[in-house]
């Protein structure tokens, strides 16, 4: 009986110690995110066309913001239960967006986007709408009051189409 209690105690302690590791591991920024970050940090850029960031084949983009859940994001994408779990994370972390690129209503690319590579917060809403490739132009502005420890933080504002 004593060895079973020791084993159970060891499992409980290991589980508690693993919790901070599980919550502190974030997916690395994707290739699109890194390329966009490099663009917004270049001194002369005041606007960016997401269609030209990387040579990806997509017709619409969804930006799912911090704390959004898999269920709500999959509902916006109209993904079924299994495809949803295979495609999207359970929740989007505070410092990131999940970008979902689609072509002909099919997901062609999903990646984690760090907010310091361009913050889409103005686009965040409970019911995200797709950004069409033809209208994926954003103005870039430096926001001084958001970045920790004096880092530069860039806000991306979708440009309205007339």
> Does residue 16 form part of some domain?
no
> Does residue 17 form part of some domain?
no
What total of structural domains would you count in the chain? 1
Beta bridge partners of 114: 96
Q: What whole-number distance in Å separates Cα of residue 99 and Cα of residue 119?
A: 12
> Does residue 55 form part of some domain?
yes
**What is the pLDDT, as a whole number, of residue 108?**
95
> Does residue 63 form part of some domain?
yes
> Does residue 9 form part of some domain?
no
For residue 100, the enclosing domain spans 28-158
> Does residue 5 form part of some domain?
no
The two three-digit tokens of residue 5, written as one number:
């209690």
> Does residue 115 form part of some domain?
yes
Least confident interval from 16-25, 60-69, 91-100, 110-119:
16-25
The model's pLDDT over 90-141, given as tens digits with 9 standing for 90+, comes to 999 988 999 999 999 999 999 999 998 999 987 666 678 899 999 999 999 9
> Does residue 8 form part of some domain?
no
**What is the pLDDT, as a whole number, of residue 5?**
54
Quote the Cα angle for 94-97-98, to 5°: 130
**What is the pLDDT, as a whole number, of residue 23?**
40
Q: Helices then strands (H, E): number in the chain?
A: 4, 7
Buried b (16+ CB within 10 A) or exposed e, 50-84: bbebbebebbbbbbbbbebebeebbebbebeeeeb
């Amino acid at each position: 009986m004593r060895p079973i209690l020791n084993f159970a105690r060891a499992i409980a302690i290991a589980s508690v110690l693993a919790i901070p590791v599980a919550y502190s591991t974030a997916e690395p920024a994707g290739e699109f995110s890194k390329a966009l970050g490099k663009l917004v940090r270049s001194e002369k850029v005041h606007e960016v066309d997401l269609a030209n960031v990387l040579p990806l084949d997509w017709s619409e983009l969804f930006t799912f913001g911090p704390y959004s859940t898999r269920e709500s994001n999959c509902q916006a994408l109209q993904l079924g239960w299994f495809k949803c779990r295979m495609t999207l994370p359970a929740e989007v972390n505070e410092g990131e967006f999940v970008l979902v690129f689609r072509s002909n209503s099919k997901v062609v690319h999903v990646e984690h986007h760090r907010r310091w590579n361009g913050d889409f917060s103005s686009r965040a809403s409970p019911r995200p709408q797709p950004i069409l490739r033809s209208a994926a132009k954003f103005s870039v502005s430096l926001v001084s009051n958001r970045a920790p420890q004096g880092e530069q933080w860039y806000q991306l504002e979708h440009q309205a189409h007339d």
